[in-house]
Amino acid sequence: MDEALISAPLVFRDDGTPYSPRHDDIYHSAAGALAQARHVFLDGNGLPGRWHGKPRFTVIETGFGMGINFLATWAAWHDDAHRPPALEFVSIEKHPFSASDLRAAHAAIIDDAAVAPLADVLVSAWPPLEAGVHRLDFDAGAVSLTLAFGEAGDVLPRLGDHGVAADAIYLDGFAPAKNPDMWTPAIFASLARIARDDATFATYTSAGHVKRALIDHGFEYRKVSGFGGKRAMLVGRRARSRPVIQS
C-alpha cells in the first residue's frame, strides 16, 4: 500500500544550495543547478543529438525534486531546430514541493532567462500533492510531463503498464550512500524492463554498487568527468552484448 504523501520543506544551506534535511543531502551541486543538469544529464545522455530523427523521445527520471533537469531538457528541446515532435518526461517523486515553495526555489536558483518562463509555466500547472500519476501537457501537447508521486520502489514497476518506454534515464535520487532506497537492485530491474534497446543513462555517482547493479541489469557504463569538481560520473547504455566493465 502507498504511504501518505509528505511534501518536502524548502531549506537552503548557507551557500544558497537547496538541502534536504530528510536525506541530509543537497538537491544539486553548489556549482550550479542548470549547469549540472546540462553536464550530467543532457550531455551524459548525448542530448539533444540523440533525439534527432525520432518521432517521440522519452526520458525517465528518478527524483523530480525542483524539476531543474526537466526544465533544462524542455529548454534544450525548445532551442533545437531538429527536435522530435514529441518529448515525454516521466519523473518519480516521493516528497514533492508545494507550488509556492517550487516557485521560491526557482526564483533563487534559475539563472537563465530562457528557462525562467518555462519554470513559471510548470509551477502554474503544478498538480495537487496527492499520491499517484499526474500528467501535465505543455506546448500544445508536444511536451508532456508525467509526475508519479510516490515511493520509487512502488511506482517504477508499474510504469510499464502505462506504456512507458525509456530512451534516456536520469538517475538523480540523491547520493547512494545517503539514500540507498533509490539505488536498489529492484529499481535497476524496473528501469531495465522499461528501457528501450538503445536507451542510455547518466548519473553523477560512480559508486561501486551502482556500477555492479547496472551491469547485473544489462547496462554497460563508462566513467567520464563529473561536474563541479567531481572527478567521475557514470554514463552508459543498454548492453548490446557482453557488458564492458571499466574500473
Ligand X SMILES: C[S@@+](CC[C@H](N)C(=O)[O-])C[C@H]1O[C@@H](n2cnc3c(N)ncnc32)[C@H](O)[C@@H]1O
Given the C-alpha cell 568527468, which residue does it identify? Answer: 225
- Out of 68, 115, 191, 199, the residue judged to bind ligand X by CB under 6 A: 68
Binding mask 131-160 for ligand X (x = CB under 6 A): --------------------xx--------
Contact between 8 and ligand X by CB under 6 A: the answer reads: yes
Nearest distance, CB of residue 55 and ligand X, angstroms: 26
The type of residue at 89 is F
CB closer to ligand X out of 95 and 193 = 95
Contact between 181 and ligand X by CB under 6 A: the answer reads: yes
86-93/11-12 β-pairing: unpaired
- Out of 98, 144, 179, 184, the residue judged to bind ligand X by CB under 6 A: 179
Contact between 38 and ligand X by CB under 6 A: the answer reads: no
CB closer to ligand X out of 116 and 239 = 116
Can you read off the three cell numbers belonging to residue 57? Answer: 523521445
- Distance separating alpha carbons of residues 211 and 223, to the nearest angstrom: 10
Q: What DSSP string runs through 51-104?
A: GTT-SEEEEEEE--TTSHHHHHHHHHHHH-TT--SEEEEEEEESSPPPHHHHHH
Nearest distance, CB of residue 53 and ligand X, angstroms: 26
Phi, psi of 158 (to 5 degrees): -95, -10
Write out the residues near ligand X by the rule CB under 6 A: 8, 27, 37, 61, 63-69, 92-95, 151-152, 172-174, 179, 181-182
